[in-house]
């Protein structure tokens, strides 16, 4: 018992021999992977200017969910991209390195329209666009409602991506979501959090 008490006293003095775990970084837009005319503010959560930006965490887990809030309309797109995507070229979706929903409701990958939102469901200012990705298929949600608009085709390690132009401003939500993720989906986890 005295040994246990001694250990507790040592822990209180920082002599425990325990390693303090480093706090995981927050998922946010990555200022090292963005277009040259992009502006990132609000602790890596808001994008404005012209061009695209990927998040700082790849989608390693099986089922990822993230959201974007349209603060101001214009030209914009959201989805997934590899680090090879040209983030200065708007709109994205023109090559094999990005799969995105564009402001007109079309979903593009490799310069091919992969799907389209229903005509009466185009995102407007103030709307929340949710994105799910399961390493095969990207699905879209508008204000929490499934748009039944799947798209696929992108290969490799992908990251959330967003682009803006023509005065568009979008906010990214990588946690503390406006709408609950669909069953089985969760916020993006850094690779160390998965194991």
Q: What is the pLDDT of residues 35-47, one digit of tens each?
A: 999 999 999 999 9
Say how many CA atoms lie within 13 Å of 93 toward its Cβ.
Answer: 23
For residues 133 and 10, what is the distance between their CA atoms, to the nearest angstrom? Answer: 47
- 91 pLDDT more than 90: yes
Q: Which pLDDT belongs to residue 10?
A: 46
For residues 118 and 103, what is the distance between their CA atoms, to the nearest angstrom? Answer: 13
Q: How confident is the model over 154-158, as a mean pLDDT?
A: 96
Do residues 43 and 28 lie in contact, with contact meaning Cβ atoms separated by under 8 Å?
yes
Q: Which pLDDT belongs to residue 2?
A: 47
**pTM of the predicted model as reported, rounded to 2 decimal places:** 0.87
């Amino acid at each position: 018992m005295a040994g246990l008490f001694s250990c507790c006293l040592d822990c209180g003095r920082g002599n425990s021999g325990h390693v303090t775990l480093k706090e995981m970084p927050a998922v946010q837009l990555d200022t090292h992977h963005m277009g040259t005319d992009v502006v990132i503010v609000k602790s890596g959560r808001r994008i404005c200017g012209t061009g695209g930006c990927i998040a700082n965490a790849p989608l390693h887990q099986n089922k990822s969910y993230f959201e974007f809030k349209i603060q101001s309309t214009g030209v914009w797109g959201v989805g997934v991209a590899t680090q090879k995507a040209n983030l200065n070229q708007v709109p994205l979706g023109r090559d094999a390195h990005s799969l995105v929903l564009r402001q007109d409701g079309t979903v593009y990958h490799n310069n091919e329209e992969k799907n389209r939102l229903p005509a009466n469901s185009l995102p407007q200012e103030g709307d929340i666009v949710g994105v799910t990705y399961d390493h095969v298929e990207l699905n879209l949600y508008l204000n929490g409602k499934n748009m039944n608009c799947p798209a696929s085709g992108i290969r490799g390690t992908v990251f959330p991506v967003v682009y803006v132009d023509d005065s568009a401003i979008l906010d990214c939500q990588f946690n503390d979501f406006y709408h609950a993720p669909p069953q089985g989906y969760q916020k993006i986890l850094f690779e160390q959090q998965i194991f």
